[in-house]
Amino acid sequence: MNSFLLPLLSVALASAAVINPLHLVKVPTCTDEMSKGPCSDRDNSCETPGYMCDTTTSLCCPMVDYKNNENIVGPALKGECEEFYTAVFIQQSSNYECVSLDSLPDDVQCPTERGASCTPSKTACAAGYTCYPVAGACCKDAA
């Protein structure tokens, strides 16, 4: 298999593993300002953990619960957050805030034990773990 296609295939498979294909996850529509840009032309995915493609606007919109202050740990520094948090532009504060990836809906969380962090562009996980890009984590493979 072409070595370029193998990483793309693994991301697509990992992304498919996150969401039960028989259960449609509703992605809320967001503003251009709140989005992380357009969805990937390659596979309709988003580069940033905690974000999914809104099929109405084709924007990457936050799936984390940024409306609950308990999920926010503070401002993003230079747009970055610590592991297992994602930056969300919150219009009321006019800043990017770090929101816990644990606040994702259950159907896009790790179905098993969570390991190290990963992203669609950094999918390497330890043996026995698979990258779940939306959850931003390597999840233990089911036995």
DSSP string computed for 47-80:
SSTTEEEETTTTEEEE-S-TTSGGGEEEE-BTTB
Inter-CA distances, 116 with 17, 24, 50, 107, 134, Å: 17, 27, 15, 19, 14
pLDDT given for residue 88 in this prediction: 94
pLDDT in tens, 16-37: 444 433 345 678 888 888 899 8
Mean pLDDT of 62-87: 93
pLDDT given for residue 42 in this prediction: 67
Which of 91, 90, 35 is closest to 59 using CA atoms?
Answer: 35
Which of 66, 140, 57 is closest to 76 using CA atoms?
Answer: 66
Phi first, then psi: what are they for 99, rounded to 5°?
Answer: -115, 135
pLDDT given for residue 4 in this prediction: 37
Of residues 5 and 57, which shows the higher confidence score?
57
Q: Give residue 84's identity as a one-letter amino acid code.
A: F
pLDDT for 9 beyond 50: no
Mean pLDDT of 57-63: 90
pLDDT given for residue 111 in this prediction: 84
- Would you place residue 5 in the very low, low, confident or very high pLDDT band (cuts 50, 70, 90)? very low
Please indicate, yes or no, whether the overall pTM of this predicted structure exceeds 0.85: no
pLDDT given for residue 112 in this prediction: 83
Which of 128, 53, 68 is closest to 103 using CA atoms?
Answer: 68
Tallying the residues shown for the chain, one arrives at 143
pLDDT in tens, 75-126: 999 889 999 999 999 877 778 999 999 999 988 888 888 999 988 778 789 9
Q: Give residue 32's identity as a one-letter amino acid code.
A: D
